[in-house]
Structure 1
């Protein structure tokens, strides 16, 4: 199919619809031409006759009830008859339009419809999509159905066309999880992580029992969330493990997520479970087991670092709770009271706050720069302050409307602090 054929089909269908509309508009005129022998509009006369009969019935009823006498009845009846005769004389002849008027309507309706379509808005994206469909639609379908692994060279001369064709193809087959899965791979290759996660979420909703889709969805979400297991990723992994307790990929993600969330005991439990599963399989797994031992040692080191950190308990003033939105982000940081980059900082989803409170641990694991750590600040006796802020936009810089609290100064030896979020940034 060529671009001309697609465009031609569209124009043909548009003209057909416009012509049908034109015929509907002039149908009364066509019918009028068959009534030339009686070109009178009797509609008004029929209405007058109906009114006359109703009024005459009312007069007769008034006479029978004694409301009016016979003389008054006769006078009113004569007056009604006179009015009816006058109305009958004032008939309106129907003027049937000529063939010229009909042709003008039949031509101008399609023309005006076409002009409106092209002039009301910019149709360039539509034409570009048609061009992409005509050129690479079959290639896109072959890629999404796994018939080919790589597109031919001519199909990627304009990458935008292939992407548009693949997206259109997926939306036409919106109930096919495999197409959504392959579309996510395309987005990942383009580093469009958010779009990839959205495509994977659709694939997972369509096929929640597919372990490959589920673990890929959880994995991409895990890394996109900077190594944090959010509630959705955790639920997906738990569903996979409920159906297949020995799934190694899900176990590894759980171990990494628990370690990143400072749940070190749970992380070590997942590592032991994974190690036992691998060791029970036949063959040489020395390298895999060695990697797990290294991961376990790293978790132990992280636990030691976390124990030297500061536990921050954050509370939100009840009057501000209605201002908290589901997509908000919680920022917690420890910095020099004189300013400068934080020694430790965390960016957390607002879901960590339960009933207006949350407890967050900050340590050298949360350092933004390797040389600027909480330990180095304490060794140098730097006066530190803890800040907490709820951001509506998700950016690290405070903006108007964000919720925050006053910085809380802590001593060098202090390991716990309470921070109250009790004001809105003006």
Structure 2
């Protein structure tokens, strides 16, 4: 509020000075000065309008208050120092806004990393990625920023390991082969992506350093699960369907899914594809699985939904095929027949 009042006073003084200068020069030139009061009046009106439209914005007050309360903490973080205020006492959303403002004036690798970590905490992976890139631009040797970038890329991929994320993690492991945080991030994301040999290697690396206590039990369970999923992958990672759409226009969006018989909600696996012609053959591979592979005794069905609109979402696919029970291991593709309602 103080800076708004100061700006208003400055504009008034400037208007008065300009008006006085205009009157003096006009009199020297022998021109009439009647109506000259309109000049400072216009400036005053513009200042008032600016205050009403901007200065009294509902977000301005809280923003200024956050700058006052947490500005010192943000400046300490940017300088690589420990803030006097405890992190638990600072709302993450407020600190994001304050850090953004401070970093626009004083960029620092530490500050960008802190901002990215806050975005990560708030579940904003795209913003986390941007902040991590800016931190690395200022300090390319910061392992923490490489892992922050990897986490953001993995989060944007639904928790699955991507080539770009693995490159960032590997950068850290090449320099710190026993970095537990890097190994855990790599292992969990590889497991989620169905890259089980890599996940198994990760669990084994962690167990070699943490073979005792409760942590070891958790790591062993993770290792056993990855080994079990690897065994099942040969059965579940390449399942096909032939989808017939007699009388339906091609060029739309087809969704093929696998779920447990009788279940609802998120399917076990799903694939979306624009179909140029019917019949269409689709295969669901490891990357299409949204959940862990089920046991061999689980009864599964494969179904399909379709919409003539290309690029549409699944909730717009109102044309469906009756789900068909699957026999595993699959010997031939399942045949699905779309029927318009």
Give the TM-score normalised by the residue count of structure 2: 0.67
Q: Counterpart of 1:113 in 2: which secondary structure?
A: helix
Q: Sort the Cα spacing of 1:155 and 1:180 in 2 relative to 1 into closer, same or farther, 3 A.
A: same
Structure having the higher Rg: 1
Q: Does 1:216 align with 2:148?
A: yes
What is the CA–CA distance in structure 2 between the aligned matches of 1:34 and 1:332, rounded to whole Å?
87
Counterpart contact for 2:256–2:305, Cα < 8 Å? yes
| Residue segments in structure 2 that go unaligned for 5+ positions in a row | 243-249, 275-281
Counterpart contact for 1:367–1:374, Cα < 8 Å? no
Instruction: Give the superposed CA RMSD.
Output: 5.1
Q: Does 1:172 align with 2:87?
A: no
Counterpart contact for 2:271–2:288, Cα < 8 Å? no
Match of residue 360, structure 1, among 266, 282, 285: 285
What is the CA–CA distance in structure 1 between the aligned matches of 2:288 and 2:304, rounded to whole Å?
14
Q: Counterpart of 2:159 in 1: which secondary structure?
A: coil
Q: Deviation of residue 105 (structure 1)? A: 2.6
Q: Which residue does the alignment assign to 1:74? A: none
What is the CA–CA distance in structure 2 between the aligned matches of 1:269 and 1:152, rounded to whole Å?
39
What is the CA–CA distance in structure 2 between the aligned matches of 1:160 and 1:229, rounded to whole Å?
28
Greater percentage in helix:
1
Q: Which residue does the alignment assign to 2:189? A: 257
Q: Does 1:105 align with 2:38?
A: yes
Give the TM-score normalised by the residue count of structure 1: 0.56
Match of residue 147, structure 1, among 48, 70, 81: 81
| Residue segments in structure 1 that go unaligned for 5+ positions in a row | 37-95, 280-284, 325-329, 351-356
Q: Sort the Cα spacing of 1:362 and 1:155 in 2 relative to 1 into closer, same or farther, 3 A.
A: closer
Matches within 5 A, 1:68-217: 96-98=31-33, 100-102=34-36, 104-120=37-53, 123-149=57-83, 151=85, 163-173=96-106, 175-189=107-121, 195-217=127-149
Q: Counterpart of 1:124 in 2: which secondary structure?
A: coil
Q: Which residue does the alignment assign to 2:327? A: 412
What is the CA–CA distance in structure 2 between the aligned matches of 1:393 and 1:10, rounded to whole Å?
51
Match of residue 302, structure 1, among 226, 229, 233: 229
Q: Deviation of residue 178 (structure 1)? A: 0.7
Q: Sort the Cα spacing of 1:257 and 1:140 in 2 relative to 1 into closer, same or farther, 3 A.
A: closer
What is the CA–CA distance in structure 2 between the aligned matches of 1:392 and 1:171, rounded to whole Å?
42
Q: Deviation of residue 210 (structure 1)? A: 0.8
Q: Deviation of residue 10 (structure 1)? A: 2.4
Q: Which residue does the alignment assign to 1:55? A: none
Q: Which residue does the alignment assign to 1:86? A: none
Q: Deviation of residue 363 (structure 1)? A: 9.8
Counterpart contact for 1:258–1:264, Cα < 8 Å? yes
Matches within 5 A, 1:321-336: 333-335=257-259
- Number of equivalent positions: 320
Match of residue 10, structure 1, among 7, 22, 25: 7
Q: Deviation of residue 309 (structure 1)? A: 1.9
Q: Deviation of residue 253 (structure 1)? A: 2.9
Q: Counterpart of 1:334 in 2: which secondary structure?
A: strand
Matches within 5 A, 1:381-396: 384-387=301-304
Q: Sort the Cα spacing of 1:377 and 1:312 in 2 relative to 1 into closer, same or farther, 3 A.
A: same
Q: Deviation of residue 398 (structure 1)? A: 1.8
Q: Deviation of residue 151 (structure 1)? A: 1.8
Q: Which residue does the alignment assign to 2:169? A: 237
Counterpart contact for 1:18–1:113, Cα < 8 Å? no
Counterpart contact for 1:363–1:374, Cα < 8 Å? no
Give per-residue Cα distances to partners, 1:323-378, cap 9 Å, x unaligned.
99xxxxx9762147888445513589x9xxxxxx975238998269xxxx574553
Q: Does 1:344 align with 2:268?
A: yes
Q: Does 1:398 align with 2:330?
A: no
